Structure 1
């Protein structure tokens, strides 16, 4: 006799038919994106914390706080893929489902090849893959690459982050890429916006015609 598979909520660990149970999902503090036309750069508290960025369109699920932070760290440091699926489910439902003008392509922020060889894993790619499965928006990892092995950003000041990431991203020229008019740069967490801003500029310089949206799971800004 087959024993039925028992799934547990990733947050409360109680038996659940979903990766995040109904009760935990109801308790999540997510951004009210409909109040800002699905663009957090129109949210004054977010805009105030991102004064040194040039992108104008940002979508995120919520603040980097428990339990979203716990799911992200479990994905990043333990490669626990169910967390990617659960976060992607939330992102699609909360950030994408009601939008009408969606990007044609998702570009996850790349790791430098040395860091990728060491870690053998890029959590932003895993999250983007799960979003792709639910939306059919294609992803690519062949357009942008990290040419500079930078320090980890976590404990750096905003000024040092900018210095650390200067000229870190390069764009591979691909003629067929010009078919795209609208893309999304995707990362797991946005802090000062420095990484995204440098990636945005690299892409915009190579392909000035592009509309580039910024997508991330969480934001954690020092001045909000």
Structure 2
């Protein structure tokens, strides 16, 4: 494990198998997870042709994610996003930090979670990417920056849109809220399909800071099935 100090509040049941466990995901279930081979791709999924094809419209040069968007991680993500199961963020963040982040690499100076539009936030009462970011920040010490970018456009849900429609949907969706002096950042989203959302955020930040180093972090990628 690249990060040795990973402690979470004891759980009475594993979130996946529901058996007694002192961790949110028991060791048996964690061993059964089908995760990406980060060492094989030098801790950058864009070195993997399959991920390259799925993210061909993404301009960033480094992407990190846990796994393909399939059960059981997909159930944890939908529970977090739509059912207010905030504890799922702790479990996913622990997996991300312990399996994906390479302690030998230079970590970003801050994490920027993809913001929600105020209307969507009022409806949901929380931002799932912020909840994930809080947990990753607590485990790594990387600050969470939630006030740098705002979502100024109430975009249509991306789920049923094509790649071209997703890109058009995200046009002018974000705005820079305040200046910053970071040189290395991570943009965090819960799930990435075509990358249209994180690409819009990436382009906004590069427009204002062309030399900024930006990584894309996500719990899952939706690859071709």
Give the structure 1 partner of residue 82 of structure 2: 77
Secondary structure at the aligned position of 1:163 is classed as helix
The structure whose Rg is larger is 1
Q: Is 60-69 or 95-104 further displaced after alignment?
A: 95-104
Q: Where do 1:1-224 residues align within 5 Å?
A: 7-174=12-179, 177-178=180-181, 180-222=182-224
Kindly indicate whether the alpha-carbon contact (under 8 Å) linking 2:46 and 2:52 is maintained by their aligned counterparts in 1: yes
Give TM-score scaled by structure 1 length.
0.93
Gaps of 5+ in 1: none
Secondary structure at the aligned position of 1:34 is classed as coil
User: Shift of the alpha carbon at 1:173?
Assistant: 3.3
Residues 13-45 of structure 1 show CA distances to partners (whole Å, capped at 9, x for unaligned) of 000111111110000000010111110011011
Kindly indicate whether the alpha-carbon contact (under 8 Å) linking 1:103 and 1:184 is maintained by their aligned counterparts in 2: yes
In structure 2, distance between residues paired with 1:23 and 1:202: 42
User: Which has the larger share of helix?
Assistant: 1
Gaps of 5+ in 2: 1-9
In structure 2, distance between residues paired with 1:48 and 1:76: 26
User: Shift of the alpha carbon at 1:183?
Assistant: 0.4
Secondary structure at the aligned position of 2:172 is classed as coil
Q: Aligned Cα RMSD in Å?
A: 1.3
Matched length: 216
In structure 2, distance between residues paired with 1:212 and 1:221: 22
In structure 1, distance between residues paired with 2:11 and 2:142: 31
User: Shift of the alpha carbon at 1:98?
Assistant: 3.3
In structure 1, distance between residues paired with 2:80 and 2:106: 29
Give TM-score scaled by structure 2 length.
0.93
Secondary structure at the aligned position of 1:35 is classed as coil
